[in-house]
């Protein structure tokens, strides 16, 4: 199975800060990597797919990069609505695997 190691596990940042979350796959997955946002009591939502393609309707302050084993999710200017947990997930093979998540708190 491909393991997805995500860091940090949590962070606290101020509105306007640049936030970066990293995800490392245990072996190469090309660019078959998705990012999700999950807020308490709501369904998760797809933010980015194919490592760097923004899902329709997602604000442009979100961006993704990487290929192979190392990936990054960046929020260029953190907004109050960006609280929640963020997960990476590989779309390369079965079983699908998620990172352990990053909880983002707004200071």
Partner 1 sequence: EVQLVESGGGLVQPGGSLRLSCAASGFTFNNFAMSWVRQAPGRGLEWVSTISGSGRTAYYAASVKGRFTISRDSSKDTVSLQMNSLRDDDTAVFYCTKAKRLWVGDLLDYGMDVWGQGTTVTVSS
Beta-bridge partners for 6: 23
Binding residue for partner 1, selected from 14, 16, 80, 94, defined by CB under 8 A: 94
Binding residue for partner 1, selected from 46, 63, 68, 74, defined by CB under 8 A: 46
Sign, CA dihedral 33-68-22-63, equals negative
What are the residues whose beta carbons fall under 8 Å from the beta carbon of 94, sequence distance 6 or more?
none
Distance separating alpha carbons of residues 7 and 55, to the nearest angstrom: 22
| Interaction of residue 95 with partner 1, rule CB under 8 A | yes
Residue 87 engages partner 1 in binding (rule: CB under 8 A): yes
Residues that bind partner 1 (CB under 8 A): 1, 32, 34, 36, 38, 43-46, 48-50, 53, 55, 85, 87, 89, 91-101
């Amino acid at each position: 199975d491909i393991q997805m190691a995500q860091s940090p596990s949590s962070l606290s940042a101020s509105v306007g800060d640049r936030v970066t979350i990293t995800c490392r796959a245990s072996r190469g997955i090309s660019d078959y990597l998705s990012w999700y946002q999950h807020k308490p009591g709501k369904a998760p939502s797809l933010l980015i797919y194919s490592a760097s393609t923004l899902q329709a309707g997602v604000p442009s302050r979100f961006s993704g990069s990487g290929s192979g084993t190392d990936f990054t999710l960046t929020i260029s200017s953190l907004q109050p609505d960006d609280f929640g947990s963020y997960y990476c997930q590989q779309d390369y093979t079965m079983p699908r695997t998620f990172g352990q998540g990053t909880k983002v708190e707004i200071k």
